[in-house]
Amino acid sequence: MAQWRKVIVSGSNAELNNINSSGNVVPTITNGGSLGTNALNWSDLFLDSGAVVNFDSGDVTLTHSGNLLDIDGGNTRVDRLELDSASDYLDVSTDLQIVAAADVSINAGGGNVKPSANDGSALGVSGTAFSDLFLASGAVVDFNAGDVTLTHSANALTVGGGDVLIGGNSVSGSSASTGSFGHLNVSGNGVFGGNLTFGDANTDSVSFGADIDSNLIPNADDTYDLGSASQAWQDLFLEGDITLTDAGTLQTSAGGLTITSAAAATWSTSAGNLTLDSVAGTLVLDGHTGVDIDASNSGKVAIDGAGGIDIGVAADVAIDVDASTFDLDASGALTMTSTTMAFDPSSTFDIDAAGAVTIDGSAITIGGDSDVAVDIDSSTLDIDASGAITIDSTSTILISGDGGATFSDDTEAIIYDGSGNLDIDSVALDLDASGAITIDSTAGVSVQGGAASDVTTGAGALTLDGAGGVNIAGNAAEIDITTSAALDLNSGAFTLNGSTVGIDGSGALTLGASEMDIDADGGVINMDATSTITIGGTNATGVTIGKSDTTVTVPGSLDVNGTLTTIDTTNLKVADRFILMASGSSSGDGGIVVETDGAGAGTSLGYDDSASRWALSKADDTSHSSTTITPRQYVVSVSGSAADASGNPSDFGSAAGDRIGMMHVNTSTGDIFIFS
């Protein structure tokens, strides 16, 4: 039976007066309610002895027994676990930290403290090391299961197994002496630090049975020799350079001096001169792939001979001279003889003579090897040819004469046929032809007049025809089209674009085209009539006013007639305080639908006329074309007065069954009543 039920929440302690038959307070569904919220918390929780806090049907439980709280099931995780006091705790900040106010004492029942796996952990790390290690008498430090051991006994530390390698420290018989060995035999690698002295007299000798695997550098500069005048090295084998840091001489005392390089090699001094002197013979430089004399750092390369200088005499070979400036001076005649002679300067090639310069050959070609500019600058240019004169260019040919240029041909017309540009620049250009004049170009044709110009025909029509269109631009001046006959504009798309466009006629104005674009370009388009203005009233399939980034303003009332009104905007802003819906009837359901299925159906907030209640429908439950609502839940309404609730709620609901869930608050006592 529907009636008001009281929920008691007043007094110092809150009570629940509705407990189910088993004596439990339970939510209506699993995981359906909470005790308190983030903003409203319970102060304390009191549980009896043996109480159990059960998570997820026993997945984890907290069970109380005398002085013990037992956690069973799953894992337990805390940010910081304090033991007995805030000074003793376990915490994790990347590493597991054990913090104790006093010492940490380990009492292992098995007698050992060990890592979880062999070679799996270290005691301390670099930068965070233990201070001291205390071991009992007889302690053993065992490496790799006895491979090497350190064993303590009274006043002794014994190293057992393996070898002992000592790094940079000294080994001596006592701490006060350096030690002395009658015989030292080192098996394996040895490193000796400090100064080393091998032998104490020149009768001692040092033999190397091994290769030298490092640089051989003297301890002082310009002090020690390799060999002597009476004890010389026999042969010297090098793969690299010889550098003298001061002036020096490479000399033979008898015979010739021959320098042969099978590969790249360099002889140099960083100070003074380097002298190669063959006292009693010829100095021969023999490079298997070439001899390079280079003074690129500074200075000159001078070759001088009392008996003359011969280059390329022994064999007929090519001679290449590459220099920024090449100067040949001869007191007599200078003769250059070659089967083919080429002059290829990197910049200007200048032939200058006090007399005439004559170039003569069976044929003369200028600029034949490469396409380069040829400039002839002369007070008088005389070209005489017994045959034809041909001027051929892929670019512009310019003929300019201050006194005028004359083209004369007694028998034929002047014909230009070429791929270059033809530029005619004159004070006046007069083209007279008894026939047609044709200007044909694959690119644009521009006619530019400095003053007002006329294009007229004495008879016939004037046709402007452009495959890409015809543009007429007044450049801010007026364009005037005047005709005594009809003006016929026949096009696909027709555009009028101007700040002010005026069309005036005494009769009807008809504009007909497949497409019409009227654009005021920042101005105003005003359509006004003393009677009705109709847009798209006869043949239009749709009418669009405005575009997506503009605002359409209707200053008066807007009356939309039709079966469906669609507003496709992101948000709808309505300044009216009330919206009247279902204005065409006095009964029936009505409300607001929020689409949820993408096909015009969704959940609704509406008025159920049969139940006289505001109701909610579920997702996809109400179509945009529905005229009724199927309530899934009713909206709860709250009434209040200084009296307890009694009887049926009077404002909403057509019967007692339609009023369930309504609430009433006694404003004097604070008691809450729910109708059910």
224 contacts: CB under 8 Å, gap ≥ 6: 218
pTM: 0.33
Q: What are the Cα distances from residue 264, in Å, to 243, 267, 289, 298, 492?
A: 14, 11, 9, 22, 82
Which residue carries 């002395």 as its tokens? Answer: 180
d(CA 284, CA 258) in angstroms, rounded, equals 5
- For 580-604, what is each residue's pLDDT tens digit? 888 888 899 999 999 999 888 999 9
pLDDT at 68 over 80: yes
* pLDDT in the model for residue 562: 81
Token pair for residue 274? 């380097």
Identify which of 613, 631, 628, 616 has the alpha carbon closest to the alpha carbon of residue 675: 613
* pLDDT in the model for residue 273: 73
- Cβ(533)–Cβ(527) under 8 Å? yes
- The per-residue pLDDT of the chain, averaged, comes to 79
* Confidence grade of residue 270 (pLDDT, cut at 50, 70, 90): low
Cross-strand pairs, 250:
276
pLDDT at 81 over 80: yes
39-64: average pLDDT? 90
* pLDDT in the model for residue 180: 52
Q: What is the DSSP letter of 276?
A: E
More reliable by pLDDT, 487 or 142:
142
124-145: average pLDDT? 90
257-271: average pLDDT? 66
d(CA 146, CA 161) in angstroms, rounded, equals 8
More reliable by pLDDT, 134 or 311:
134
Return the minimum-mean-pLDDT range out of 140-154, 196-210, 270-284, 330-344.
270-284
- Cβ(498)–Cβ(520) under 8 Å? yes
- Mind giving me the DSSP string for 613-648? EEEE--TT-EETT-SS---SEEPP-EEEESS---S-
59-80: average pLDDT? 90
The three state secondary structure string of 497-537 is: ECCCCCCCCCCCCCCCCCEEEEECCCCCCCCCCCCCCCCCC
531-541: average pLDDT? 79
The 3-state DSSP class for residue 656 equals helix
Cα–Cα–Cα angle for 425, 426, 428, nearest 5°? 135
pLDDT at 559 over 90: no
* pLDDT in the model for residue 173: 42
pLDDT at 28 over 80: no
- For 325-379, what is each residue's pLDDT tens digit? 778 877 777 777 777 777 777 777 788 777 777 887 777 888 777 777 788 877 7
- For 450-481, what is each residue's pLDDT tens digit? 788 888 887 878 888 877 778 887 777 777 77
Question: Of the ranges 199-208, 287-296, 482-491, which is most confident?
Answer: 199-208
212-240: average pLDDT? 85
Q: What are the Cα distances from residue 315, in Å, to 304, 310, 319, 666?
A: 21, 11, 11, 130
d(CA 69, CA 48) in angstroms, rounded, equals 13
Cross-strand pairs, 608:
613
- Cβ(151)–Cβ(160) under 8 Å? yes
* pLDDT in the model for residue 620: 92
* Confidence grade of residue 405 (pLDDT, cut at 50, 70, 90): low
d(CA 181, CA 112) in angstroms, rounded, equals 47
- Cβ(334)–Cβ(328) under 8 Å? yes
645 CB-contact burial (10 Å; exposed 0-12 / middle 13-18 / buried 19+): buried
Question: Of the ranges 118-122, 308-312, 488-492, 524-528, which is most confident?
Answer: 118-122
d(CA 83, CA 585) in angstroms, rounded, equals 76
d(CA 541, CA 467) in angstroms, rounded, equals 33
* Confidence grade of residue 641 (pLDDT, cut at 50, 70, 90): very high
More reliable by pLDDT, 182 or 422:
422
CA torsion, points 566, 567, 572, 574, in degrees to nearest 10? -70
The long-range contacts involving 383-390, CB below 8 angstroms and separated by at least 24 positions, are none
Return the minimum-mean-pLDDT range out of 6-15, 49-58, 129-138, 419-428.
6-15
* Confidence grade of residue 226 (pLDDT, cut at 50, 70, 90): confident
* pLDDT in the model for residue 568: 84
The 3-state DSSP class for residue 268 equals strand
Return the minimum-mean-pLDDT range out of 258-262, 546-550, 591-595.
258-262
* pLDDT in the model for residue 178: 52
* Confidence grade of residue 166 (pLDDT, cut at 50, 70, 90): low
* pLDDT in the model for residue 3: 64
The 3-state DSSP class for residue 657 equals helix
